[in-house]
Every structure is written in structure tokens, then in C-alpha cells.
Structure 1
Amino acid sequence: MNCRITHRLLLAVVAMTVMTLYVQACPYHDRLRELARQQRERMAELRRRQSLHDARQSAIHQVRQNLGGSRSSHSHNHASHGHRPAPRPAPVAGGTRHITQVRRPVSSSRTHRYYPQSQVNGHTDQIVNSYYVQPEQHVPCPGSNIYYCPIGTYCKHQRGSSTPYRCMYQRTVYSCNPGFKQVSLSSTQFMCQDINECENATLNTCEQECINTRGSYRCLCEPGFEAGLTGSCEDVDECSSNICDYQCENSIGNYTCSCPTGYKKSGDRCFDIDECAGENNCLETERCLNMFGGFECQVSEECEEGYHRTSGDAFGPCVIINYDRYNYTVPVSIAKNRYGLRSTYPAGSTVGRMNFGVRIHTFEIIEGNEFFRVYTNPRRYVLHIKTKVPLEGAGNEYVLRLDVVHYSSGIPMKSRVQFEFVLSEYNF
């Protein structure tokens, strides 16, 4: 029976030893024990300094009493000689003299010293007594300049205890914001680390591309798609924004532009093909005239009666034959020019310029004044043609005919010029 009891006691001692070792190995309890040890050392130092302070005060009091006795006898001597004794300060309650303590900080911002002062017969004797130094790692307990607790703890008042305050850790539970996770640094400390939601498909709702940000993530889509509110990628209908010149065909994530006959595609735009620059179907006696989206084969026209072509060009101007019969009322030359335009020209658009090579004296619009406005440049060598009204309608032709007068050797010369403008089917 005694063996069993002894064996059980041995097991209990071993268990308590293991528990004690476990508790002692805990960093939290190690910190508490360290704080308690520092508090005990601080209290012992304070008690030592307080005892020294009391001893000094007792010595000062004894010196004051001795000085008071000598001054009293000296006053009686003065009275015997007819001198009036000097007034003495009024005593305070209890028969002790008035002592004032003045708090003065020293040069360091982390330490405060206290300098008590004593007054005897109007004289001030300063006695330096540095009885406490406050480190910046501690804060005083409320209403006390003796008890301090380390920063990060708080003072808890204990009733009926020899130590009125106890340093306690805050019991606030800290957590990380959404999008962060706790990473332990020790048994009592942790840091918040960003979570990369893009590495885990269950943490993001992106359909195509995921970009991690601090505390969150952002969804991106490939060209031709736009991101929805939930991270989905929806097809963009590029054709709804008139991105193509002619026809647009939308597809998933893309689109295709096409051009009509007579145009070539470059990117999203359509550009006219100059059929006259290469092979065409015009005859050798015809002239190829490039138009927007096509071309024309022009046939040479006969000159009016009394005019002929002298340059050998079948499409050149017709010049008057008999200069002797020229009476300055009929044109010296007649020229016709044909141009292709786009389907729409707003009012005020420049549709043509013509360089005569000689200074223009005057000009007169014979036909087309309701559609065109004509003016010359300051040097009067170039004729500018602008629209008065919008030119519209595929295939429509607008004619401008005018007489231009210039001087040659002091003789006025009149030339008749005719412009024919043909509108295309397309506005590009």
C-alpha cells in the first residue's frame, strides 16, 4: 500500500515538473516574470532613495534648529543694546518651517529631476535631490509618480494589496483587414500579409486575366472584350461605333472591315484605287479620268467653230483661229476640266484650285453661281473655288463656267474655263 502511494506521489511530482517546465518555456509568462523582476528592482531602488531623502531632510531640519537657536540668542543681544530684532517668518502649523518643492526638468527630455528648496529667514537654500529617473519606455500609473508600467501595458489598480498597481497586457483581439492574412512572428506577435487572390481560382472571379493589388485584385479582359461587374468578359460590338468606312462585320472579340469595288482597305479605312495609274480598259484615243471608286474613259470633243487645238493635245484648250477678227468680246481660248468628288461636301469646302500662270485682272461667273464662290489669292495668279451650299447626291454633276480676263502686252485677253464636278457614291 505504501509503495502504491509513493508511486502515485512520484507521478504527480513528475507531472507538475513537466507543467512547470512548459509554463516556464512560454514567452508570454517569461515576459510577465521579467516585468515583475524589474518592478521589484524599481521598488527597492525607490525605497533606498526615499530613505536617503528622509535622512537628508532630517539633517536639514536639525541644521535649521541649530541656526534658529543661535539667531535667537543673537536677537536677545541686539535687544539689550536697544536694537529691534529683525522680523521672522510666520511659523506654519506644527511648528515647522515652510518648505516648497519646485519641479524642474533637466536637459534630457526623457528624465525629470526634482529640486526641493528650503527658505530660512528669507534666504533660499537649494538642495539637489534626484530621487527618480523616468525612462521613455515606461509610463506612470494614474495619480502616481512612483509606479510605472512598460509601454504596451496598462496599470490595473489592486485593492488590499501591498502593490497598489499591476501591469497588464491589453486583451484586445487584433485581426487583419479583408484581403490580408496573419503571419505569426512569435507566440504573441503577428503581421498582416497581402493575399494573392490571382494564384487561387476560388478567391477571384476573373474570366480571362487577374491582376493582384494590395488587399484585393482587378480583372482585365483581352482586346475586343470589356470586363463586367462580376469579372466576366463580354464581347464589344465595335461595329456599333461606326469604326469602318464601309461595311463592318462583328465577331467574338474582333471585327472585320470591308470596302466596295474601286477601293482598297488599309486598317479600318478605305482608299480610292487610281485605275488610271495602271492598266485600264480605255482606248488609245481616249483619256482615263480617275474617279472616287472608279474611272472614266473620256472622248475628245471637237472645238467650236473658229477654234482649233494647236498643242497637238486632243484634250487641250481650243484657241481662236483668226486673231484679226478678235474684237475682245469672244474668248481667245476655251478649256474644259472634269473632276471627281466624294458623295458629300459641306458648304465652304474647297473643291478646286487653278493656276493661270499670269496675273488675273477680272473674272465673271457665267454658270454655277448658285453653287460656287470664286476668289483669287493676293497675287492674283491662282483661282480658288469653294462651295456655297452642300454638294450631295451620288452621280450628280455640278458645272461652273466663268470668263477670266488677263492682259498681254497691254491687250486684254479673255479665256473661258469650264469645270465639271461629278459626285461619287461614297463619302470616302
Structure 2
Amino acid sequence: MAGYLFRLFAMYRICLCLCAAISCITSQEAEEPVSYTCTEGYTFDPVRQVCKDIDECVHVSDACKGGMKCINHFGGYLCLPPNSQITVTNGDEYTPSPAPAPAPRPPPNQRLIHSLSLPMQCSVGYSLDEHNYCRDVDECTTGRHMCSSDQVCYNTRGSYNCQCQPGYQKIGDQCLDRDECLLPHYCMHRCINTLGSYYCECNIGHTLAGNNHSCIDVNECNDDSPCQHQCYNIIGSFICQCNQGYELASDSRSCQDIDECAYSNYMCQYQCINNPGGYSCSCPEGYQLQGSRICQDVNECDRGHECREDEKCQNYHGGFRCYPRNPCQEPYVRTAENRCVCPSVTSVCQGLPTTIVYKYMNIQSERTVPAEIFQIQATTMYHNTHNSFQIKAGNEDGEFFLRRSSNLSAMLVMTKSLSGPREHIVDLEMVTHNNVINYRSSSLLRLTIIVGPFAF
């Protein structure tokens, strides 16, 4: 369209020039004063005294658009296709190169005839429309391009470009996949390249956000908890914990019972019983649980027993025994509880201990030795008397030792540990001497030691 307007403008300037020439001829014939004013598109050359054509193609910046070429013409310029030709004649052959404009006083009766021959052809990439305008050809739409099947055609003014599809790059004549993961990308954790594109993945314990690029933490404990007991969410993962009495299995999710009894022999004093999530202690017969682990002896004599009326109940660790209420045997007679006296008036008592006192005690099995377990004490003290103490019987294996404490007492010491259950009878004798009156007497303490079955 621009070229067409410029052609009209040029022809209009030619007409003005012809009119100006005719006017000059007429005025010359009338011998009017000469005017040196040039028409538009010319400038006066004072040296040569002529109107000189202005080359708009040189002086006008970007005179033609759309790929048209600029051709200077008398009094103007033309915008023509690059391959067009122009011929200017006056009836005879005329040199197409621009000539100086006629002088202000041209010869009389001179007629200038300009014939313009313009073959209408457009440059490559353009085509004439019905108005003889050069319009751009869309090679991409019409299929007049050389782009391969893996390329995308983009139309340009007068031509076209072959570009690779998004996600591909041109290397030589081929479009090869562009590894977006090697370039700056938006993936927060991991980038996975694909043909022509890429996608993002998140680390374990995260999931893609709505933009498919960012990663947010997954709370594994919210829905179906993966833990058997307790679940605690942390960034990117979770931690399982077990209730008291349980420990995590090798899978770090399920819980298995802790066998507390296998950890130590001191969990319970007697026997440890493992339970799901805990343990309990039990005691043997004759004992009861005190607290959570200690076994305490049950005093059957206070709670009920099976002793007869003529017997008395004697409790010991882990059980009880029944003993005669009257332990005295002939020739001894009972004078008090557990005390037997041999009457001195009878000849049978000569050489026998004057009194026999029965005592009962119980000790634990495997007791630490040496241990002081019993004290023998004289009840009366006579003037000028001397007491001596000895183990009369029951010490065949040397388990005991009688240590004199004073003139009136002695201490029975256990030197060997005794294992129960067993009954051990030891006779402790006290002999009293009086040298002034030549007096000698003896008394016997019969100590029954009941050893329990356990060390508690």
C-alpha cells in the first residue's frame, strides 16, 4: 500500500514538473520575468543555474517499507519490488539514469513525455493481492516451507523460521531433547527429565504442592498410622514409640514385649513372671509379696495352723512346726513354760543337769557367716561363783562356736552357712562352780534352730 501511494505521489510530481515546464515555455513566449523558484522535489543549483533533483532515497530515512526498494525519480521517488525495472522515454531511447532538471528557460515548444513501465512483481515472500499490493505470504499456513516434522514453522515478514518444538534444541539439522534438569528449573527436591519436558519429584515423606514444583511435608501420623503404638511426625518422616514394657521391633514400626525377667536376676526376690507390657513377682508357699518384689514370711501361727491342743506352734521362715507344750521328760518335771527341773531329792538326778530350758529360733538359709545368732545368759549370780560355757552336743560338723562374753553370758556364733529346710538342735551347757563351799551345778539350754528353705 505504501509503495502504491508513493507511485501516485511520484506521478503527481511528474505532472507538476510538466506543468511547470509548460508554464515556463508560455511565460518565455510572453517574455515575462524569469523566476528561479524550483518545484517540490527539486533544489536550485546556483553554480549551474538549474533546478537539481533531490535524491530522497539518500536523504529520507527508511523511505520504503515492507521489503520494497527505493528508486529516485524526477521530483520524487518510487517504492518498488526489488526485481522491478523502470524505463523513462520521450519517444526515443532515453537513458534511465537521472538527468539534471531543465533550466528555468527551456527551449520553446519543448514537450516532455515521460513513459513509466513498471512490471508489478513482489519480492520473495510477498505476493500481489487484487489491489496490486504486495502482501506477506504465510509460508507456514500454505505449506510453502522446508521445516521438518520435528520442527515448528513460525511465519515472519517475507519469510519464515523453523524452530524446534518446546523442550527441544537444534543441534546441526536435528532437534534433540533439552535436558531441563541441567538448566535452572523450579523443582524443590528432584528434577526428572522427559522427552520435550520434565517433572518434579519429592523426597520420601513429602508430596508435591499445587504448583507441582514445591514439596510439602506429609504427616504420616494423621491417617492410617504406620506405628503399632505411638506415632510422632517429623519433617520428611515419622518416629514410632512403644508403650511402657514394649520395645520397637526390627521394622521400627511394630512393638514387641520386653522380657524384663531376662534382664536381671534381681527383678524379683524369688520368681519373675513376664507379662505383656510388664512383669510380676511371685513368692513360694509360706511367703507373701511385700511391695512389688520382696517376699515376706507368712506367720502361720498367727493366721491359723494345725497344731493339737497339747502342742504349740513355732513359726519359721517359710513354714511352721508343732512342738509339745510340755517338753519335759522323766525324771524332769515342768516348772515353767519350756523349763524342766530334775528334783535333787531323787538319786536319778545325780550327774544330770539341774535344769533344761528349751528355746526355739529360725534363721534364713545360706546366711552370711560368721554370724552371732544366740546369747546364753545366767539368771542368778551367787557370791564367789564362777560360770563356764560349752557346746555340749549338736556341733559335730563344727558349724558353731561359743564365745564367752562375761562370767554370766556367752554368745553362740555360726561359723558355717546352713542350708534349709532343716532342723538343728544344739545343747549349750553352763556349769557353775563355788570353790568356797565346794559347790558345782550345771544347766542346759537346748536350742532348736530351724533353717528356712530360702535366703529370705
Instruction: Give the TM-score taking structure 1 as reference length.
Output: 0.44
Instruction: Give the TM-score taking structure 2 as reference length.
Output: 0.42
Q: Which has the larger radius of gyration?
A: 2
The structure whose residues are more often helix, as a share, is: 1
